[in-house]
Amino acid sequence: MTKIQPVRGTHDLIGNDLQLYKHINKVVSEMADNYDYNEIKTPIFESSELFKKPLGEFSDVVLKEMYSFEDRNQSSLTLRPEYTIPMIRASITNNLLNRLPVKLFGTGSMFRRERPQKGRYRQFNQINFEILGTFEPSADAELIILAYEFLKNLKIDDKVNLQINSLGDLNTISKYNNILSDYYNKYKNDLSEESKTKIISNPLRILDSKNIEDSKINQNAPKITEYYSKTAIEKFDKVQSLITSVGINFSINTKLVRGLDYYCHTVFEFKTNKLGSQDTIIGGGRYDGLVKTISGPDIPGVGWASGIERIIMMLNKVDKKIPLVQVITIDEQSREYGLNLFISLRRLKIKTRYDHKTNIKKSLKHANEEKIKFAIIVGESEATNNNYTVKNLIKGTQHTLNFEELLNMLK
Ligand code: HAM
């Protein structure tokens, strides 16, 4: 019989991966607090309408990847595929946009019906940072520096490279889209089937296609740099000089366009060559028209998100904290005495195991296998004399101690 499995593209977080997940969350929560970002948590599902327009009606996420379902009252709901839009929605709902800029941090599960592969899941966890309400390039730089420091704190900064690009302002993007459509139209018979469907609806995405034929055509595609406005050039230069001034290395990739449709000006990705094709561990950029699209005020924004599962894959094993003590009760009568002991030890934050067995041999074997240092054995005689038999399983020594002596020894 085949073993019961989770739904395709989902996974259980257990053991070492869960330890790493907790470690990453701890590091990033401390950073968010230190950098003065306010954490918000939003519902896992939202109205489908919320995502459709801002993500682009013709983007892959909206067309193929959203988990949408009809509620009993016929309204359409969607499991959030990303966190930026729900965070903006929540900022509008909860009147957080009164004093700008607003700095937000959030973590949680996202859902996309993508083809599962190494590093790509249908339910995955993201870390998100957003700044709403400033056009200043220093906000883009602050977020890129924050991302870099995050990777540095996890000791994986040397395994990633930062690529940046500017998509120019919103006018540039629409003009460039038309120019690209015209260009790709000339090669429509040679493009991959997938790219053909994007010639009109989303030509920008053909630029970062991994298909070999598409890449050849992309070599001579018009470059966005030729269409930048003066302000866009100045903003992009400023971002570059700010991140250079703190010693962050990067390369400019004019084909970096990002998978979601809401970006303008700076876009960036931290990539690694350690994970195969799903190589982006942090992605983000500026989205100056997005808040307005979600019926909020006309304010700009910039942010990034990181996939926790991909970061876990880049980290080494963590040492699990093993219990210091195993309490062993050797008969029914001594259970109460043993129970009082392990409750007291746990209240003193001494990691203590109790396996509910009264088989001393099996319990000691288990404690030895797990490399637990002390076994505290209690039976009728210990309960009567109010003491404890303590075995040091590493040294093989044994003592009879009262509670105070026991604590001194454990400390
Ligand atoms: P994104 O590039 O779609 O951007 O996702 C950001 C990161 O989430 C990716 O770089 C990757 O690490 C992780 N990720 C995405 N899809 C999957 C998946 N199927 N399985 C595992 N990990 C995945 C956004 O979501 C934007 N909201 C980022 C942003 C925030 N832009 C501005 N602010």
Q: What is the pLDDT of residue 112?
A: 97
104 to 44, 133, 266, 287: CA distances (angstroms): 17, 11, 19, 15
pLDDT tens, 29-69? 999 999 999 999 999 999 999 999 898 877 788 778 999 99
Give the span between the Cα atoms of 364 and 376, in whole angstroms. 10
* Residues 32, 131 share a domain: yes
Cα 332 to middle of ligand 1, angstroms: 55
Residue 314's CB: how many other CB atoms inside 10 A?
18
Q: Is there a domain that residue 250 lies in? A: yes
Question: Which of residues 262, 284, 314 is at a domain's end?
Answer: 314
pLDDT tens, 126-185? 999 999 999 999 999 999 999 999 999 999 999 999 999 999 998 898 899 999 999 999
The count of structural domains within the chain is: 2
Give the contacts of 192 (CB within 8 A, at least 6 positions apart).
209, 211, 213, 214
Q: What is the pLDDT of residue 299?
A: 97
CATH number for the domain that contains residue 370 = 3.40.50.800
Residues of the chain above pLDDT 70, percent: 100
Q: Is there a domain that residue 289 lies in? A: yes
* Residues 135, 263 share a domain: yes
- Beta-bridged to residue 270, according to DSSP, are 162, 282
* Residues 288, 151 share a domain: yes
* Residues 371, 262 share a domain: no
Question: Which of residues 259, 294, 314 is at a domain's end?
Answer: 314
Asked if residues 333 and 38 have their Cβ atoms less than 8 Å apart, the reply is no
Q: What is the pLDDT of residue 320?
A: 81
Instruction: Note down the domain range covering 46.
Output: 15-169+229-314
Q: Is there a domain that residue 342 lies in? A: yes
- The ranges of the chain with pLDDT < 50 are none
39 to 83, 305, 307: CA distances (angstroms): 12, 14, 17
Within 243-297, strands assigned E span 251-252, 264-272, 280-286
Give the span between the Cα atoms of 297 and 301, in whole angstroms. 11
Q: What is the pLDDT of residue 274?
A: 86
Q: Is there a domain that residue 368 lies in? A: yes
Return contacts of 350-356, CB within 8 angstroms, 24+ apart: 350/324, 350/325, 350/410, 351/321, 351/322, 351/323, 351/324, 351/325, 352/323, 352/324, 352/325, 352/326, 352/327, 353/323, 353/325, 353/326, 353/327, 354/326, 354/327, 354/329, 355/326, 355/328
The answer to whether the peptide bond before residue 222 is cis (omega within 30 degrees of 0) is: no
Sign of the dihedral defined by the CA atoms of residues 121, 125, 127, 133, in that order = positive
* Residues 390, 243 share a domain: no
Question: Which of residues 279, 314, 349 is at a domain's end?
Answer: 314
* Residues 126, 63 share a domain: yes
* Residues 151, 52 share a domain: yes
Q: What is the pLDDT of residue 85?
A: 97
Q: What is the pLDDT of residue 385?
A: 96
Q: Is there a domain that residue 203 lies in? A: no
Q: What is the pLDDT of residue 396?
A: 95
Q: Is there a domain that residue 3 lies in? A: no
* Residues 329, 301 share a domain: no
Look at ligand 1, atom 11, and give the residue with the nearest C-alpha: 307
Asked if residues 190 and 175 have their Cβ atoms less than 8 Å apart, the reply is no
* Residues 360, 264 share a domain: no
Give the span between the Cα atoms of 331 and 3, in whole angstroms. 38
Look at ligand 1, atom 31, and give the residue with the nearest C-alpha: 284
Cα 285 to middle of ligand 1, angstroms: 11
Query: Which three-class secondary structure state does DSSP give residue 121?
Result: coil
The preferred substitution site among 59, 260, 271, 294 for testing ligand 1, maximizing ligand atoms within 8 Å of CB, is 260
Here the tokens at position 140 are: 């883009």
Q: Is there a domain that residue 125 lies in? A: yes
Look at ligand 1, atom 23, and give the residue with the nearest C-alpha: 307
The preferred substitution site among 10, 110, 258 for testing ligand 1, maximizing ligand atoms within 8 Å of CB, is 110
Pocket of ligand 1 (CB under 6 A): 82-84, 112, 114, 119-121, 124, 126, 128, 130, 259-260, 280-285, 303-307, 309-310
In the DSSP assignment, the letter for residue 323 is -
CATH number for the domain that contains residue 130 = 3.30.930.10
Residue 330's CB: how many other CB atoms inside 10 A?
20
* Residues 162, 94 share a domain: yes
Here the tokens at position 285 are: 């950029």
Identify the helix (H) or strand (E) that includes residue 124. strand 123-132
* Residues 244, 136 share a domain: yes
Q: What is the pLDDT of residue 321?
A: 87
